[in-house]
Structures are given as C-alpha cells and as structure tokens.
C-alpha cells in the first residue's frame, strides 16, 4: 500500500506539468525544481520538530508523574481524615 505512493506522485507530477505547460511553458519547470529543492528542507524541519517533541514529551511525563503523586497524597490524607471520624 505504501509502495504505490512514489509511483503516484511521479504520475501526478507529470500530469500537472502537462496541464501547466500550456499556460506557463518553461516556468512550470521552475516550480517543480523548487519543490524538489525543498525536500531536504522538509526533512530537516521534521527532524527538528521530532527533537522538540521528544523534549516536550519528557517534560510532560515528569509533570504527569508529579501530579499523580500529588493526587495520591491527597487521597491518603482524605482516607486518614475519614478513618478518624
């Protein structure tokens, strides 16, 4: 299912180039070149976002762990108060 994506994307590019050729002539190659040149940039940005997401995940896990400890402490205090009555 994933293997068809490169084939479809090439076919779409060729089809779009065919339709744009009538309006833009050689300028349509400039657009395709820009798309191809930005592929590495998209990969770089993906890696940057992945690194940021990993850092925020660690912070979020720490925050959730601390909140769980606080809530469990509140439950212990509540149970202690109920037992005294």
> For the whole model, what pTM was predicted?
0.54
pLDDT, residue 50, reads 96
DSSP 36-71: HHTHHHHHHHHHHHHHHHHHHHHHHHHHHHHHHHHH
List CB contacts of 20: < 8 A, sequence separation 6 or more: 28, 31
Average confidence score pLDDT of the chain: 90
Concatenate the DSSP letters of all residues of 7-36 into one string: HHHHHHHHHHHHHHHHHHTTHHHHHHHHHH
Q: Which pLDDT score is estimated for 56?
A: 94
Please report, in tens digits, the pLDDT of each residue of the chain (85 residues total).
Answer: 567 888 888 899 899 999 988 888 888 899 889 988 998 999 999 999 999 999 999 989 999 999 999 999 999 999 888 887 7
Instruction: Please report the pLDDT score of residue 66 as a whole number.
Output: 95
- Half-sphere exposure for 78 (CA within 13 Å, toward CB): 6
pLDDT more than 90, % of the chain: 52
């Amino acid at each position: 299912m994933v293997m068809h994506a490169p084939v479809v994307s090439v076919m779409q590019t060729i089809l779009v180039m065919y339709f744009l050729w009538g309006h833009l002539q050689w300028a349509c190659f400039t657009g395709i070149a820009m798309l191809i040149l930005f592929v590495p940039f998209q990969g770089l940005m993906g890696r940057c976002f992945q690194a940021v997401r990993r850092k925020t995940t660690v912070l979020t896990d720490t925050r959730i762990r601390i909140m769980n400890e606080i809530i469990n402490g509140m439950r212990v205090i509540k149970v202690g108060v109920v037992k005294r009555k």
